[in-house]
Amino acid sequence: MNVYNRPLEPCGAGTGYDRSGSCSFVPSDGGRHLVCARLDKRFLDFTRSRGNALTGLRPGDHWCLCVGRWHEAYLNDCAPRIVLRSTNREALRGVPLGVLQKYGI
């Protein structure tokens, strides 16, 4: 289910902890890849500076991000826009809906 408690929509090809294309909740996913983001250069530069280059991804790609990394980017004023209908409701355990909605597309 997504943040609106509706069926989770796909995020992008080959993304998700299980590479299903959706930001599905998987109990063994310690990183909680639940936020469907539309990547931009600013975020890609930020996450690279934190040691995760996301090699092969480009601005405009949709990718399931770790809730913690998205929140860290938010706190550093470089969070990418997110696709709310493709963001898992479990992300709400780490980021309030109101914050996510400010970045929704």
Residues 7-21 have pLDDT tens digits of 999 999 999 999 999
43 and 65 Cβ atoms separated by less than 8 Å: no
Tokens 């310690």 label which residue?
30
Full residue range of the structural domain in which residue 59 is found? 1-105
23 and 35 Cβ atoms separated by less than 8 Å: yes
Residue 13 maps to which CATH number? 3.30.56.110
- Interatomic CA distance for residues 40 and 4, integer angstroms: 24
Task: Count the domains in the chain.
Answer: 1
Q: Could you read off the pLDDT of 47-97 as tens digits, one per residue?
A: 999 999 999 999 999 999 999 999 999 999 999 999 999 999 999 999 999
- pLDDT, mean of residues 16-40: 95
Give me the pLDDT at residue 99, please: 97
